[in-house]
Chains A and B, each alone.
Chain A
Amino acid sequence: MSDAALDIAGLRARLAGSRARAHRLHRLHRLLRHCGLVVLCAAALYPLLWMVAASFLPEDEILTAISPIPKSWSLHNYTAGWNAFDVSFTRFYLNSALIAAISVVGNVFASSLAAFAFARLRFPGRGLLFGLMLLTLMIPAHVTLIPQYVLFQNLDWIDSILPLVVPKLLGCDAFFIFLMVQFFRTIPREIEEAARMDGCSPWRIYRRIIMPLSTPVLATAAIFSFIFTWDDFFGPLIYLSSTENFNVPLALRAFAGSDEGSSLGQLFAMATLSVMPVFLVFVFCQRLVISGAAGLGLKR
């Protein structure tokens, strides 16, 4: 019996040693992973960091700078670039903001109306219309582009924000409708049934019950709608022709093609500013953005 006891003590000592070694190996493994990820992140973000850094440098230094940290700091490019056009960037930002504001509100509101009908109301033709809505997801914008252009031309809406904004007010983004339908379906039916028994009309149910409970999906839809709208280039390219109506992406591109645009520093400064709104939204609403992006792929 005492032999066995000695044996045990010896075994425990050996095990403690091998366990410590295994822990060290594990920690090394983890360190390597962290290093790999840091390198990857740095490489991925390098172009962006360089652009931001370069925007603070005077012109002659930019051509040779490769460091993501600026050697000198100057806001010259920002102030110069902002007013480089005869139309200052303030105007462009206001245009973009107006388009974004109306589009986001319109999109979220109109989509929620349609989504509510699809998710919660019973009516003839629901299946058919829902299928039709899903099919419209497949239609690329280019197919409807030309007739829409002709239509807007006949309405004399060219060179205004109306062609960009009105479709949003009519809930033309089936993507958001689909997103909301999925969410509404998770709200327990019993809540609505109780409301119906209390005599609530569908509109009241929508306004007082479904909408307040849907803040997550509405926020997600608003955020993504904002991002798409702010960065929208193709639509404005086609419909906005005069400079003072440009949105920020369009203005940025025009800036790049102009004489002033040969100043790399000013271009980068304006480019940095143009992504700031989206970046800030991301920083403050990070969790919503990422879970929204993930949710896309999983609701099938």
Chain B
Amino acid sequence: MARGQLIDVEKRYGRHSVIHGASLDLPDGELTVFVGPSGCGKSTLLRMIAGLEEIDDGLFLLDGEPMNDVPPARRGIAMVFQSYALYPHMSVRQNLSFGLETARTPRGEIAAAVARASRILRIEHLLDRKPRELSGGQRQRVAIGRAIVRQPRMFLFDEPLSNLDAELRQEMRVEIARLQKELATTMVYVTHDQIEAMTMADRIVVLREGRIEQVGTPVALYDHPDNQFVAGFIGSPRMNFHGAVVTSVDGSAVTVALTGTTTQIAVPVAAQAAAIGEQLVLGIRPPNLHPSGQGDAEIAVEITLVEQLGGNALLYGRTEAGVDLVAQEPGHSAAQRGERRVFGLPSAQCHLFRHSDGLALPRRRS
């Protein structure tokens, strides 16, 4: 168990910066998830924490001690690799004991640690098998077991579920979350799948192009995204975006007109942020967009596609401006392609983002 801190951490390849001044707290005992599109630097950041990549500038502290120059093995950190990196010529038992043997741990202690780890992960019956005889899910457990055995201060996971099929992925997601709570360790988990992030994390760190976009609990990121990127990345189905122009501003709200349509809506955000005529982007999540027009404003659409998912339905409606909006309707929908409908916009759940830099206009806390 340990508290980690990244302070202004930088990574450069030649002239080109891959991680720009990232600062972050990794609280003790929490599961922090790094998430973002490919190339955003989440794996690089993880590897810098592990010590597999050099930190070019800034500090990485573990329990207050700087770790920049400490070799990976002495940081007290264990990592589960995306490809598991199990030693193929060793049995499961040998894979689990390898690190402890290297540290010259007494044989009895090694046996006890291996027994404990294999019990937690339910792989006791596999101890004498070789990795090539195991299934994907089993190999993953062994990889996790190898990390547990060393009783590290911090666990790192590098996209551990991306090689598994969907069903197994869901099962392992639950397992890993359960494991973290049981062991009460600090965990850093990297994934490109925002659903994994939302379901597992105590805190999510959204990264894009080497910069931290936002840090917060899943709910906080969902309800209060700091910018358009985070708003569009978190949440499935994706948030709807529509161009908007500010028509009036007063103490309690900013009124915008949706570009190319006749719809106007007053959104409760801090007024000083906006000027009349300013270009903005309105965001509204599909579950919040009412499929039958109830709300503070209406927008006329023509239905282009209906996806019946059984438990709910997604209605794709095209506005007069040619923008597609997705509304989520519970149960089965009677909507038809080509039908003219009106979607309802609740002002309390609308988000406004500046067109220029994507920053969200801060909400008035009511």
Contacts and interface: CB of A to CB of B under 8 A. Distances in A.
B55 to A, nearest CB: 8
A22 interface: yes
Contacts of B66: 11, 15
B114 to A, nearest CB: 34
A22 B7 contact: no
Interface in B22-73: 54, 57-59, 66, 68-69
A209 to B, nearest CB: 35
A12 B59 contact: yes
A63 interface: no
A18 B59 CA distance: 13
Contacts of A11: 59, 66
Contacts of A12: 57-59
Contacts of B68: 15, 19
A8 interface: yes
B59 A22 contact: no
Contacts of A22: 69
Contacts of B57: 12
B14 to A, nearest CB: 14
A229 to B, nearest CB: 41
Contacts, number: 16
A15 B56 CA distance: 10
Task: Give the bracket for the number of chain A residues in contact with chain B.
Answer: under 10
Nearest to A22: B69
Contacts of A8: 7, 59
B217 to A, nearest CB: 25
B53 to A, nearest CB: 13
Nearest to B5: A8
A12 B7 CA distance: 10
Task: Give the bracket for the number of chain B residues in contact with chain A.
Answer: under 10
A15 B69 contact: yes
A19 to B, nearest CB: 7
A14 to B, nearest CB: 8
Nearest to B58: A12
Interface string A19-52: 1001000000000000000000000000000000
A72 B59 CA distance: 63
A12 B66 CA distance: 9
A19 B58 contact: no
Interface in B271-307: none
Interface in B58-102: 58-59, 66, 68-69
Nearest to B60: A15
A11 B70 CA distance: 14
A297 B68 CA distance: 42
A19 B69 contact: yes
A22 B70 CA distance: 12
A240 to B, nearest CB: 51
Contacts of B7: 8
A186 B44 CA distance: 35
Contacts of B58: 12
Contacts of B54: 19
B318 to A, nearest CB: 40
Of the candidates B54, B57, B68, the one having the most CB atoms from chain A within 10 angstroms of its own CB is B68
Contacts of A18: 69
A3 to B, nearest CB: 12
A11 B54 CA distance: 16
Interface in A181-209: none
Of the candidates B54, B57, B66, the one having the most CB atoms from chain A within 10 angstroms of its own CB is B66
Nearest to B69: A18
B45 to A, nearest CB: 18
Interface in A214-248: none
Nearest to A21: B69
Contacts of A15: 59, 66, 68-69
A264 to B, nearest CB: 53
A154 to B, nearest CB: 56
Nearest to A23: B54
Contacts of B59: 8, 11-12, 15
Contacts of A19: 54, 68-69
A15 B66 CA distance: 9
Query: Nearest 8 pairs between A and B by C-beta?
Result: A15-B68, A11-B66, A18-B69, A11-B59, A8-B7, A12-B59, A8-B59, A15-B66
Given A15-B59, A19-B54, 7 more contacts: A8-B7, A12-B58, A15-B66, A15-B68, A15-B69, A19-B68, A19-B69
6 contacts: A8-B7, A12-B57, A12-B58, A15-B69, A19-B69, A22-B69
